[in-house]
Chains A and B, each alone.
Chain A
Amino acid sequence: MTSLLEIRDLDVRLPPGGDRAFALEGVSLALARGEILCVVGESGSGKSILAGTIMRLLPPGIGVAGGSLRLTGEDLLAMPEAGMRRIRGARIAMIFQEPMTALNPLRSIGDQIGEMFRIHTGLSGAEIEARALALLEEVRLPDPPAALKAFPHELSGGQRQRAMIAMALALEPEVIIADEPTTALDVTTQAQILALVRDLQRRRGTAVLFITHDFGVVAEIADRVAVMQHGRVVESGEAEAVLNRPEHPYTRALIAAVPPLHAALRAPMPADTPPALRIEDLSKTYRRSGWFGRKGRETRAVADVTLTLPRGGTLGIVGESGSGKSTLARCVMRLLQPEAGHVRLGETDLLALRPAEWRRETRRIQMVFQDPYASLNPRRRVGDLVAQGPVLHGVPRAEAMERARELFELVGLRADALERFPHEFSGGQRQRIGLARALALRPEVLVADEAVSALDVSVQAQVLRLLAELQQRLGLSLLFITHDLRVAAQICDRIAVMQGGHVVEEGTAQQVFGAPREDYTRALLASVPGRAWTPPETAEVA
């Protein structure tokens, strides 16, 4: 095999004053014709900078300091800007993570695909339209003629990503760089897009540089893998070898952190465990009021949901975006007002309480939020954030601070960090602070809404272990909402699968993962990337 794109000893310098001097250090990679090379790494590993360097689309202040970058022998680093413009799109095309922001919202899909031809070729208007139509057919968008005239907001996330891929394919580039192209998509859509990428790549023989953080995706699609850490390639090789016999300790740790897709062996809950939380016939409808009495649009986000969380157990709620799982959590916490149903915590119906009574009861049920960057007030010291809850519920300030100190140790943070501000912590540490804040009131029930979704896989594994450990120690009952079936398999006793506001299947984790009853559950499980690959058990734990 001849190398199409060859990267040798590439150094990319970061602006001075950052936490490291180089974004990339001595990176050497070769991409051969017709192969898919996956570049894997956690956030900050430099994998997106690599894509930017190849396309010469780096933010200001970041520049190449050494090494070489060749496309079929041509030196890309020495090429003048005009030459780069002829290469971008025509010979190297890029697919971005978020198709909604990568597409121009004011221009139709057909117009934007056509632009590729207008810039790089001298084809006539009719010919361009015919080509664009053929491309949309090739990426299997439903009803291509209509999609040609559609605007980005009229397509779903998966369809937009297909349109982006059509754009990237337009000029039959030799190399496609895909930067986390499926990260923003639901799992079933992701499976379709991955299948499409692989299919197109086989038919056309394009080389694909596929950037991802997800080892499941790697297992699904990669021919070869390069693992990056702190701007260096620590391990590279055939996908099969790297996935099943990782050699570098960092790769081993990363792979060990990937949860396997079968229910973890947890002690089964006795059938007569009393319920900690019962959700009964809960419904929430979003209404958009129309003008002049015209009927507005109605969405049933949660429809007649009845669920039981056993005391001391974990109930996982899984589903794709729009399935109503977050709305359900927000209704339970009274952040949203459902129009019907009950939420019983022990004997108390939370939804029937008056505001003042609810404020008192909040000590019994607490929530951990998704976004570790948005869920902590940036202007308060983290000690205050954790002590705030107990103080509100009448605990003297000194005692609340003492409790915060204990909790910091409990969640694995140093107690002397109490005086710092949230921005001084990493994402994983912030999520621990969020957890400490929720635990400060010593709740019976903890609602975790995608609490580990924003974290890197190794940090995610740590937080999950911490959650399980705290649950044991404190006898917590956990309502765990996630879109990630691997995570759910890891931590849940019972699983409820939601789709379109309804619970379509509910049962023990073993049953849902081992013998799903419903077609939708089976489809979800079949879409999990890398389902055929089980992370090697021998890998040591980080």
Chain B
Amino acid sequence: MSALGRFLRNPAGLIGLVLLLLVLAAAVSASFFYPDDPLRLAGRPLQWPFANPRFPLGTDNTGRDIAAQLLHGARISLLIGVVATLLSLSIGVAVGAIAGYYGGWVDDALMRVAEMFQILPNFLLLLVLVAVFGSEIGTVTVAIGIVSWPATARLTRAEFLTLRQREFVEACRTLGMRDARIILGEILPNALPPVIVYAGVVMATAILLESALAFLNLSDPNVASWGNLIGAGRAVLRVQWYVSAIPGLAILLTVLAVSLVGQGLNDALNPRLKGTP
């Protein structure tokens, strides 16, 4: 059975895929349902959901439409998730591949650099980067990518360490193949499956990191992100809890979707790890 076939037969992966498509649909349809700026003042503040047909999910404490922010926020969350993950993967895979393939002092040097990033908790490092470079949404995304590459690098390196000793790699060397081609063309395709699976974890973490920043009012205040909405709702948490709860639920579902898809990919790409049913 093909990897795709296995993925589609996996209930967890399928649920994740459906949820992810829903989030994607929300992001795509945001401009259609709410063509105006989601951050404009739309009506009386703190209207409960379902109370006013104009605002199906109510308004927040400054009178902005929660539904509009929710749909537009899906864009931001997905954008941050995808871009930060790609960044983290490209740095991580490049560093891990070179360190794992060459070993020796190259490996030592690159892994010490990776450790410098890992010594600080991700979030603290992110706070430092945002404090230094500012909190525009682009900067925040890059910063998230930068704090999350070392784990990808370690995973790629571990794969390369075992694969480079395999005889098929030695065979390529005896055929007169260049290192770059061995790394990219021969080893990398064999090393990728676990990295792709891990990308799900990176993406979920990236979305959570941005929300956490926004909750501390350290993310870009000029975009409608879920984290910003939660942060705004903090002031009225005890009575109008829905202001924080609705975007919180959205984050929960998105992260769950990404994790489930990752899990499904894992089962589909590494069928032997699951054992015979």
Question: Which A residues form the contact surface with B (CB < 8 A)?
Answer: 15, 60-61, 330, 333-335, 358-363, 366-367, 369-371, 374-380, 388-389, 392-393, 434, 437, 441
Contact = CB atoms under 8 A, between A and B. Distances in A.
Nearest to A360: B176
Contact of A374 (B168, B175, B186, B189): B168
A389 B181 CA distance: 13
A383 to B, nearest CB: 15
A393 B176 contact: yes
Given A374-B166, A378-B190, A379-B190, A392 B171 contact: no
Interface of B: 166-168, 170-178, 186, 189-190, 276
A369 B171 contact: yes
Nearest to A368: B171
A366 B174 contact: yes
Contacts of A362: 174-176
Given A15-B276, A388-B172, A389-B176, 20 more contacts: A333-B173, A333-B174, A334-B173, A359-B178, A361-B176, A363-B176, A366-B174, A369-B167, A369-B170, A370-B167, A374-B167, A374-B168, A375-B166, A376-B171, A378-B190, A389-B175, A392-B175, A392-B176, A434-B171, A437-B175
| Chain A residues touching B, majority SS | loop
Contacts, number: 62
B176 A358 contact: yes
A370 B173 CA distance: 16
Given A367-B171, A434-B171, A377 B190 contact: yes
Contacts of B189: 379
Contacts of A388: 172, 175, 177
**B contacts with A: majority SS:** helix
Given A359-B178, A375-B168, A379-B189, A335 B173 contact: yes
B276 A441 contact: no
A207 B186 CA distance: 51
B170 A335 contact: yes
B276 A335 contact: no
15 contacts: A60-B276, A333-B174, A358-B176, A366-B174, A367-B174, A369-B167, A374-B168, A375-B166, A375-B168, A375-B170, A376-B171, A377-B190, A379-B190, A389-B175, A437-B171
Contacts of A379: 189-190
Nearest to A335: B170
A336 to B, nearest CB: 10
| 3 A-B pairs with least C-beta separation | A362-B176, A375-B167, A359-B176
Contacts of B172: 377, 388
Given A333-B174, A358-B176, A378-B190, A61 B276 contact: yes
Contact of A375 (B171, B176, B186, B276): B171
Contacts of A380: 186
A375 B190 CA distance: 13
A245 to B, nearest CB: 41
Contacts of B167: 369-371, 374-375
B176 A377 contact: no
Q: Which of B166, B171, B178, B186 has the most CB of A within 10 A?
A: B171
A376 B172 CA distance: 10
A363 B168 CA distance: 17
A333 to B, nearest CB: 5
A370 B177 CA distance: 20
A521 to B, nearest CB: 29
